[in-house]
Amino acid sequence: MVQKFLKQPYPYYFKGKNLWIIAALIFGMSMSFNFFFEPFVVYRPEHKVSFFWISMIHSLNAFLSVLLIIGLNNLSVNEDKWTVGNEIVLISGVLLTIGISQFLVRDQIYANPDNWSMRYFLEEIRNTYMVGILFAVILVPMNYLRLMKAHLKTAQTLNNQQQSDFFPQSVKLLPIVTQQKSDDFDLNLDEFLFAKSEGNYLEIYFENGEKTNKVLKRMTLKELESQLKSFPHFFKTHRSFLVNLQKVAQVKGNAQGYQLEIKSYSDSLPVSRGMINDFERKYKVS
C-alpha cells in the first residue's frame, strides 16, 4: 500500500519563479517558527549575537539550501515521471543540507567549545528533520489528495461530454510534407490516433479496426503540428505527443494531471502539467 502510494504521479512545482516563491515561504515560516515558538532549547548565555539574528541565520540557511538542492535537481528532473516518492526524497535531501549548514555556522553564533562535536552535528540534523518532517508529513499527502480529487472530478466531467460535439471534418486525406520528399504521405484524418516524437523521427499511430498500426517518418512533432493547425481537435498534450482528441476513449485524473486512454491503443498518453489548462479548454470546447 505504501509502495503504491510512493509511486503515484506527483506534480513538480519547483521550477522558475515557483522555486523562489517556495524558498521565500520557507524562509518566512522558518523565521517565524524559530523566533516566536523557540521549538528547541535556547541557552542565551552562549549566544554571540541576539536570538533574532540567530533565527535569521538559520532561516537564511534554509532559504539557500532550498535554492541549491532543488536548483541542482532541476538540471536533470523529468517532470512527467515525478512521483510522491521522488518528492519525499527531494525534501529529505533539502532537510539534510539544511541540517549540515546549521552545524557549519554554529561556531559563528554560539560560544560553545563543543560546537564541532559529533553530538551537535547529529543534533542539528535531528532538529531540522523533526521540524521539516512535521510539515512534509502533513502537507505532501494533503496536497496529493487535493490534486487527485480535483483532477478526478474534472476528468469525469470531460468523460461525460458528448463525443459528437467535436469539430466536424470535411477533409479525410491530408498531404503531409516530411523532411525527405520520398517520405511524404497522405494522412488519413479519420484513422489518425496520435503522433509520438522519437528524436529526429516521428512515430505516427493509426487505427486499424481493433488494432493499431504505426509508421515512422523523418519529421518533427512541430512540423506535423503546423500542418494540422486547421484542425483544432489535433492537440499537443505533451512535448512528445500530438493527439487526435476525437480518439480519446477516456480521461483519467491523478495528482499530476491527466492520462488519456486512446481507442485501439493499450497504453495511456500523458497530458503535461503545463498543458492542463489548455487541454481542459480544448476538450470542453470540442
Where does the pLDDT of residue 66 fall: very low under 50, low under 70, confident under 90, or very high at 90 and above?
very high
| Residue 147: closest CA among 282, 269, 274, 258 | 258
Residue 38 neighbours by CB under 8 Å, 6+ apart: 51
The pLDDT value given to residue 59: 94
Q: Which region holds residue 128: left if phi is over 0, alpha if psi is between -120 and 50, else beta?
A: alpha
Q: Give the span between the Cα atoms of 7 and 84, in whole angstroms.
A: 6
Cell, residue 231:
484542425
The pLDDT value given to residue 164: 44
Q: What is the pLDDT of residues 166-176, one digit of tens each?
A: 444 555 788 99
Rounded to 10°, the helix 51-74/17-32 angle is: 150
Q: Which pairs count as long-range contacts for 92-96, CB under 8 Å and 24+ apart, including other chains?
A: 93/69, 94/65, 94/66, 94/69, 94/70, 94/132, 95/128, 95/129, 95/132, 95/133, 96/125, 96/128, 96/129
Q: What is the pLDDT of residues 17-56, one digit of tens each?
A: 889 988 998 899 889 888 887 777 778 889 999 999 999 9
Q: State phi, psi for 176 to the nearest 5 degrees.
A: -115, 130
Cell, residue 274:
503545463
Rounded to 10°, the helix 276-285/118-159 angle is: 10
The pLDDT value given to residue 160: 64
Report, as an integer, the average pLDDT of 247-276: 85
Q: Of residues 160 and 197, which shows the higher confidence score?
A: 197
| Residue 87: closest CA among 21, 145, 146, 11 | 11
The pLDDT value given to residue 35: 85
Contact call for residues 84 and 112 (beta carbons, < 8 A): no
Q: What is the pLDDT of residues 208-223, one digit of tens each?
A: 877 889 999 999 999 9
Report, as an integer, the average pLDDT of 187-211: 89
Euclidean distance between the first and the last CA atom of the chain, given in angstroms as a whole number: 38
Q: CATH 2.40.50.1020 spans which residues of the chain?
A: 161-285
Q: What is the pLDDT of residues 87-136, one digit of tens each?
A: 889 999 999 999 999 999 999 999 999 999 999 999 999 999 988 877 67
Cell, residue 58:
538559520
* CATH code at 161-285: 2.40.50.1020
The pLDDT value given to residue 171: 57
Give percent of the chain with pLDDT exceeding 90.
40
Beta bridge partners of 110: 47
Q: Give the span between the Cα atoms of 258 and 237, in whole angstroms.
A: 10
Contact call for residues 107 and 115 (beta carbons, < 8 A): yes
| pLDDT exceeds 50 at position 281 | yes
